[in-house]
Amino acid sequence: MKKAESKWAEFPPRGGEKLTLGGELAGRAGHRPEGVVVCHPHPQFGGDMHYPLVEELSAFLAGAGLVTLRFNFRGVGGSQGRYGGGDGEVQDTLGAVDFLRAQKDFPVQEVFLAGYSFGAWVGLRAAAREGLKKAAGICIPVALFSFDFLKDSKTSLLLVHGTRDQFTPLETVRELASGLASPARVEVIPGGDHFLAGREEEVSKIVVRFLVNDDLRSSFAKAMEDRLTNDD
């Protein structure tokens, strides 16, 4: 496997705010045509781009040949500004999507998104608004934030969740996924809590398989066809 190269990246949020956000862009020679923006957990509770799960996931994605951009939300690390209550962080994420689409060192044709906890809430909002083809949400905090925006989303989703998540029961995530118009797959981490310490590699492999393989829509379509056939 070819080793990914990385470099520091700076870019503004979308919307014209005079802020500079910082992150790490990683890719390798002969990379795939897709890029992934990776969003970190809540900045007011110690979340940043160096959170172990974010680092491990980014490394696995880059190792699989995808171009990755993990970054610090506004007010975190070297990124300018202050906490934006979620709305500002969505603009940060859209700025990261714009940067990944425009940069020339590792050109990409399509951008996906992956986020953990607060970063999943923010990232999935950005993915839905932008109409991205795929997005992965890890430990989505449905009990803490509204995910109603997913009802009209056309983005194919992967939702990774532990059976012992302290903030959102697994069944709540399954109910959310089952009520969406777009395809959504729930992958379960047995015994995993919200923080998934020690489960980073396991989670990363699941996300890589989803983003690299393009079988979710076909599986969803087949399931719908089977359901209609059984109803007849």
Domain count, the chain: 1
pLDDT digits (tens, 9 = 90+) for 84-105: 999 999 999 999 999 999 989 9
Query: What is the mean predicted confidence (pLDDT) over 160-169?
Result: 98
- Rounded to whole angstroms, how far apart are CA atoms 49 and 54? 6
pLDDT, tens digit (0-9, with 9 covering 90-100), for 38-76: 999 999 999 999 999 999 999 999 999 999 999 999 999
pLDDT at 190: 98
Q: How much is the pLDDT for 2?
A: 65
Residues 6+ apart with CB under 8 A from 229: none
Residues 50, 125: contact at Cβ < 8 Å? no
CB 125 within 8 A of CB 97: no
Give the pLDDT mean for 162-176. Answer: 98
Residue 57 is part of which domain span? 5-231
Distance between CA 141 and CA 146 in Å, rounded? 9
Summarize pLDDT for 174-226 with one digit per residue, the tens: 999 999 999 999 999 999 999 999 999 999 999 999 999 854 444 433 443 44
Band of pLDDT at residue 1, cut at 50, 70 and 90: low
Using DSSP, how many helices (H) and how many strands (E) does the chain show? 6, 8
Residue type, 195: F
The phi, psi pair for 6, rounded to 5°, reads -135, 155
Q: What is the CATH number of the domain that holds 62?
A: 3.40.50.1820
pLDDT in tens, 111-124: 999 999 999 999 99
